[in-house]
Structure 1
Amino acid sequence: MSVRLLLLTICFPLTAMFGEIRTYVSKDGEKTFRGELIEYEASTKKAKMRIARGKVLTFPIEILSRQDQKYVEEQGPIIQAKRSLSIDTKHYSKRTEKNKPAQGQWHFEKYDHNYIVAVENNRDEMLKDVTVEYVFFVERNRRQYQNKIEKISGSDTIDLVLSNGTETITTKSANLESWSDNPVMPSGGGGG
């Protein structure tokens, strides 16, 4: 089973854990409704869907059109797998460059920023081909100047996440510079 996760973070991770909202058609083709697949039990062939105003219904998929039954059978296990995953992120930064300015010169530092993303499988089944797509925004704060935001984005695939196991990936890096002034200190004696 292939699972695709989208991880977007500014201060905290957000993940889409359920299915898309789409229009479903009844078996006879006469009725339609909009809903979001939130769970599917393959052994009983029952789907749980969120419909208008957040109401949740559980029903056998045989009342749906053949095309919608196929969609539920394909997407249901993927949605179940996504719900069983938990994601944790840790931000890391490492200074890669620094100057030693004389008085009156600008102080300069350069940092590499990246994230470690841990994907934990809380199921009793292993998951294969878990793709994590990520977008992080890192802010560079420069006094007296505009702040700059660097974007870290990409994707990585974890071949296998064992049952009740955890796997990690490291994101690409963003390189940010920090400048601050190093004022000239007055020298000399005091007054008399």
Structure 2
Amino acid sequence: MAHIRKNKNSQAKQNDGVIRIISGQFKGRKLPVKDVTGLRPTTDRVKETVFNWLMQDTRGATVLDCFAGSGGLGFECLSRFANSAYFIELDKQAAVQLQNNITTLKLNNARVLNRNTIDVLSNNADNLVFDLVFIDPPFRKQLAQHACELLEQNNWLTDDALIYVEVEKELNLSAPSNWQIIKEKQAGQVLCRLYQRYK
């Protein structure tokens, strides 16, 4: 029995991956990522596109990485001198790995919430506001739509916040009426959109 369990553990370890930070103070650093069902790290190619869009907007920003998973988007912002980042991740293993990576990078301006993103966004009791938000949920669960609505309804956003959304290309996402698409790209089965919020 012990022998079987050992094989399972080694198999899980082999399936674990890494993300690479592509620019900034941690450029080239590789961070471990747990092999978690539904976790789909943003590819380097897409990440390069997104951060070309955000080139002038990460420094000094307060960042919220919803459905954080690997944390690749939030860590990229911190590498590019964001003021702070909150990572929300439901899966316990993934959340622990996020915290481990924060410790590895010796960051004191990042926090992990091991909770359901929709539950967190449903109540902004601490009146937190963010300049830059990433929404990259598991596909085909209608989570992106709900998250966008809650961000607007519960005052999570600064007046001119930027919101990046990554969804399956066939999803007919309806953003709040005061969000305007400023960038859009399709990469394979993925649709990437950057919205600007207007008060």
TM-score band w.r.t. shorter chain: under 0.3
Which entry has the higher C-alpha Rg, 1 or 2? 1
TM-score, scaled to structure 2:
0.23
Q: TM-score of the superposition, structure 1-length normalised?
A: 0.24
More strand by share: 1
Higher relative contact order (CA 8 A, sep 6+): 1
